Chain A
Amino acid sequence: MTACNVYKKSPASGYSLLETLLSLALASVLLLVGSFLVQAVSQRASWWITLSEMIMVRQAVMESISSLGKQVCQPGLMLGGVDSWRWHMDKNGSCQPYDIRFNVNKMQLQKRRAGGRYTGFIDAVSSPKVTYGVAHNNHCNPIRWLPSVSEQIALHVVILRLQFAVGIQAPSPLYDLPSTWWQEQQSDKSKPSWLWQPTEMFIRLPCVAAGVD
């Protein structure tokens, strides 16, 4: 009996070595493809989580600033700088001066009642720029935008333009960032980097002249 004849009879007693090897090779290829697929999906899902987090953080930051703006009362702005300003806010029914500032080191928007201490109320903001929309006397439509205003001009400011970036901590993305975003690596490489997205919002101040408030 030749070896060939032995091989021909073997199917009745199970798989040949060749069949077993081919099956193992096929299974390996399938597992490899599957693992690549799972890895790709998981990386993409992680990026979506980052994106979703940015959407939610930006929404929360803007709502907080917006609700702050709704507390402003007459006579509105008192003084305006590049990244800080003083205005009147309603506190328990009385209009009191408050200072608001971007603290770049702490990446916070902070506020204090006149004479008090600054406390942070919004985190994860950076690259602030404030511009002031100034109107003519007795008008409420801005005719010029200034980077800072004195006490005299502050009386005619009808709207604030806030430009800043909202950030989240996230691992370095494997994908191209949206065009306006940027990444900031921390000095400690083991910590996740910051991803920043620029945004812009306006706060309208009370204006009696044309009945806009």
Chain B
Amino acid sequence: MTHSTQGFSLLEVNMALLLLVMGLGGILATYQSLAMQVQYTNQQQQALLVFEQMYQVLPLHADQLQWLQAQGGSSSFVPNGHDFCQQGGVCDSSTMVAVWWQHWQQLITQQLPSGELSFTCDAVCKLGNKLHIQIRWHGPQSRRINCDVWHCITMEWPL
């Protein structure tokens, strides 16, 4: 048994390397998991804060929601007078709600990766069915995805 004094066997070296790789892998996995958790919580809070604003503002403009829905609620609908309506100017209720909608769209685009704000509503929406207002964004993929490949939260209208 002279070879024990000659160094480690191939098996011992491989086992040591395996342990090292497992340790580094564990550190990196924990790192990734924590990063995604914090990132996701932050993004979800941003989305919920926008919904909080909507919960307060939209009931005051309830009559205009169908009108807004008719505009498509898309980013292509940009009303004039954004600053005018928010800085003392008198605006009718339709313009006011459209200005808010645009404000929230901008907020979501800025704060959430590829964030979008949209209406989803079936064909009989105008007959009294629930209107869905949805915020969706691309976030950490390891989190449970609830809207296809997007993260999303949905609010039903009337509240």
Chain A residues within 8 Å of B, Cβ to Cβ: 11-15, 19, 30, 37-38, 41, 44-45, 48, 51-52, 55, 58-59, 62, 66, 131, 133, 135, 140-147, 158-159, 179-180, 199-204, 212
Please provide the chain B residues from 14 to 39 with a CB less than 8 Å away from any CB of chain A in the complex.
20, 24, 27, 31, 34-35, 38
B60 and A159 form a contact (CB under 8 A): yes
Sort chain B's interface into a size bin. 35 or more
List residues of chain B with CB within 8 A of the CB of A131. Answer: 86
List residues of chain A with CB within 8 A of the CB of B63. Answer: 141
Question: Nearest residue in B to A41 (C-beta to C-beta)?
Answer: B31
B85 at interface by CB-CB < 8 Å: yes
Partner of B56, one of A38, A135, A204: A204
B53 at interface by CB-CB < 8 Å: yes
B34 and A45 form a contact (CB under 8 A): yes
Partner of A44, one of B31, B56, B110: B31
Closest beta carbon of chain A to B157's beta carbon, Å? 15
B41 at interface by CB-CB < 8 Å: yes
A201 and B52 form a contact (CB under 8 A): yes
Please provide the chain B residues from 83 to 113 with a CB less than 8 Å away from any CB of chain A in the complex.
85-93, 96, 110-111
Partner of A144, one of B27, B41, B45, B88: B88
Residue interface mask B40-72, A partner, CB < 8 A = 1: 011001000100110011011101100000000
Partner of A145, one of B7, B38, B41, B85: B85
B146 at interface by CB-CB < 8 Å: no
Question: Nearest residue in B to A40 (C-beta to C-beta)?
Answer: B31
Question: Nearest residue in B to A58 (C-beta to C-beta)?
Answer: B45
B142 at interface by CB-CB < 8 Å: no
B76 at interface by CB-CB < 8 Å: no
B56 and A202 form a contact (CB under 8 A): yes
B61 and A141 form a contact (CB under 8 A): yes
A145 and B88 form a contact (CB under 8 A): yes
A193 to B42, CA, bound (A): 21
Closest beta carbon of chain A to B126's beta carbon, Å? 20
List residues of chain B with CB within 8 A of the CB of A66. Answer: 52
A8 to B44, CA, bound (A): 67
List residues of chain A with CB within 8 A of the CB of B2. Answer: 12
List residues of chain A with CB within 8 A of the CB of B64. Answer: 141
Whether A55 contacts B42 in the complex (CB less than 8 A), given A12-B2, A140-B60, comes out as yes
A143 and B91 form a contact (CB under 8 A): yes
Closest beta carbon of chain B to A21's beta carbon, Å? 15
Partner of A48, one of B24, B34, B92, B96: B34
Whether A200 contacts B53 in the complex (CB less than 8 A), given A141-B60, A212-B60, comes out as yes
A11 to B59, CA, bound (A): 86
A179 to B42, CA, bound (A): 14
List residues of chain A with CB within 8 A of the CB of B42. Answer: 51, 55
A16 to B49, CA, bound (A): 67
Closest beta carbon of chain B to A125's beta carbon, Å? 15
List residues of chain A with CB within 8 A of the CB of B111. Answer: 180
